[in-house]
Amino acid sequence: MANGEWLYGLLDDWQRLPGWSGRRPCTDQDCEAVLAQAAQAVTEHLGHGPERTVLSSAAIVTGTALTHRVWRTPSHALILGPASDNGPYGYLTHLQLSYTPLACGPDLPSADDEDGLSEWISSHVDW
């Protein structure tokens, strides 16, 4: 990030907080590796793999297309993937595990309904 010197101090501060980490520079492959590690941890905890795996699109999050994985429990949706950068900079890649009550939409769209799945994911991950 050539023009990001003003942001590096903030990033360093965030990385010292529990649950935050960062890497500079970071490639798409680095992000996918982190997502794969997190997916393995969620799978081990729940005892089953994700119900859906889909490449993110601009309808879900701007930036690099990365993998979203969706698990459901009887009461909640767990979605792992990239998240929107709601800050003033707009170009950071956030990787997020969302845990949302299924009340906002329990049924997953059919596997061939990519637009419907994008909308379903968006309704469950907005922070």
| Residue ranges per structural domain of the chain | 27-125
Model confidence, pTM: 0.78
- At 50 the pLDDT is 96
The per-residue pLDDT string of the chain (127 residues; one tens digit each, 9 = 90 and over) reads 565 677 788 888 888 998 887 777 778 898 899 999 999 999 999 999 999 998 887 656 666 788 999 998 888 889 898 887 666 655 667 788 888 887 766 688 887 888 888 888 877 776 4
Distance of CA 50 to the CA centre of its chain: 14
119 touches 79 (CB < 8 A): no
Alpha-carbon distance 108 to 91, whole Å?
A: 29
Among 70, 72, 63, 64, which residue's Cα sits nearest to residue 116?
A: 70
102 touches 71 (CB < 8 A): no
- At 127 the pLDDT is 45
The SS3 of residue 119 is helix
Distances (CA, A) of 22 to 5, 58, 118, 124, 126: 15, 23, 26, 24, 21
